[in-house]
Amino acid sequence: MNIIRQIILCYLNNNSLYIGEKITMTEHMIQTAMLAEKNNSSSNLICSSLLHDYGHFILDNPNKLVNKKEDGKHENIGCEFLKKYFIKDVLGPIQFHVEAKKYLARDKKYYQSLSEASKISLKLQGGIMSNKKAKEFENNVFFENSIKLRKFDDKAKTYGLKIKHINDYKNLLTSKLL
């Protein structure tokens, strides 16, 4: 099966809820992509947004991991799979969207704005970033887009929102293949 078809089927078949939220993983990722579009992001960043939690499709039960107080490292698992097919500029922000959360959480207001589930996963992911690490992260070529993706990600949890169909992103996905 062609990879785009395989990816689209994952979105169509996934009904598991986004950890601790009321929407499905598929809805969450499509909402993230829609926010990227609304904010006039580059096509690369829209594609990253759409695929950013793909690792959760691969991990068999993300909720169970959180319950067991384990971090499934979904950003690495997603990238390991996606890097066989997609260009680097799409992968970068996916790889670093968890680091971006740890970076942003240094700000109290941001931290308080996180959902309970997100606060728990932050802890499991290693907690708030140190100042030294934050300085290093600012020099990462994907820093800006990772932060943008993270902010879309945090907002993409609206229950009942009318969303696009995954097929609407077929051309975009195809255009970012290696």
Q: Nearer to Fe ion by C-beta: 27 or 153?
A: 153
CB of 28 to Fe ion, least distance (A): 6
First to last CA, the chain: 17
Place of tokens 């229950």: 159
Taking CB atoms, the residue at the shortest distance from Fe ion is 153
CB of 135 to Fe ion, least distance (A): 25
CB of 1 to Fe ion, least distance (A): 26
CB of 154 to Fe ion, least distance (A): 8
Q: Nearer to Fe ion by C-beta: 74 or 176?
A: 74
Q: Nearer to Fe ion by C-beta: 1 or 71?
A: 71
Q: Nearer to Fe ion by C-beta: 44 or 49?
A: 49
Q: Nearer to Fe ion by C-beta: 2 or 105?
A: 105
For the record, the structure tokens of 135 come out as 């300085």
Site residues for Fe ion per CB under 5 A: 53, 153
CB of 2 to Fe ion, least distance (A): 26
